[in-house]
Amino acid sequence: MTLRILVVDDQPIARAGIATMLDAEDDIVVVGQSGDGEEALRDALATRPDVVVMDIRMPRLDGISATRLITAALNCAVVLITTFDDDEHLFDGIAAGASGFLLKTSGGDLIAAAVRSAARGDSLIDPAMTRVLIEQAVSPTPPRQADAGQQAVLESLSDREKDMLDAVARGLSNLDIAKELFLSPATVKAHISALLSKTGSSTRVQAAVFAFQSGFAQPGTAPDTAARRR
């Protein structure tokens, strides 16, 4: 399957560079380029891309607001391209429905990998940004405990859905989960879909944040799912 991509950046050189790198991939075609968030929304509705690769800081309508509008209107994923100066916007991007975050210094291979991951329903976050993201989502001390609402959600999860939440919090892809739990990718996808629905998440990144915010997972440790079942 050829993935249809919309590239959004207010800097023409950056926008053209990303588009050129992606168009060089055999399974990716760039169907449009937009210069700001308002153009991105209009172009996304017109071209129906599988994935939007979008800058955060843009005139008229920023990338966070555009992500929120696009993910609400269309069945497509958004990968945000950012700089370390935009670290404070990472959690806002997750809340808006972004499926991945990359630095503007990322190479073509990583950008293409993020696009493919987002199209599959997985997420890819630049390793340099992961620690910042977790720090924004979770208070470092003391270990968090679920509030009443979060506890109710955790109790509503089946054992297998807790396995999925464990894996998502550790950043595993659907294929990785399938291999680890000896399940088919289709079965994993179905369980992930149920998990997203129960946790009120539109992306697996949001589900991972829920895992940390509820205390199901703690930064720097892998959740002990078996213990949490008891």
pLDDT recorded at residue 135: 58
CATH 3.40.50.2300 domain residues, the chain: 3-136
pLDDT recorded at residue 210: 87
pLDDT recorded at residue 95: 81
pLDDT tens for each residue of 36-86: 999 999 999 999 999 999 999 999 999 999 999 999 999 999 999 987 655
pLDDT recorded at residue 230: 33
Q: Which of 211, 207, 209 is nearest to 130 (CA)?
A: 209
CATH 1.10.10.10 domain residues, the chain: 148-229
The predicted model scores a pTM of 0.71
- What is the pLDDT averaged over residues 208-228? 65
pLDDT recorded at residue 42: 96
The top-scoring range by mean pLDDT among 39-48, 95-104, 170-179, 212-221 is: 39-48
* Buried residues in 72-100 as b, exposed as e (16+ CB within 10 A): eebebbbbbbbeeebeebbbbbbbbbbbb
Average model confidence (pLDDT) for the chain? Answer: 84
Structure tokens at 97: 């429905």
- What is the pLDDT averaged over residues 116-130? 80
Q: Does the 148-229 domain belong in CATH 1.10.10.10?
A: yes
pLDDT tens for each residue of 9-43: 999 999 999 999 999 999 999 999 999 999 999 99
* CATH number for domain 3-136, candidates 3.40.50.1820, 3.40.50.300, 3.40.50.2300, 3.90.550.10: 3.40.50.2300
How far, in Å, CA of 126 to CA of 131, rounded?
Answer: 10
The top-scoring range by mean pLDDT among 58-62, 95-99, 121-125, 226-230 is: 58-62
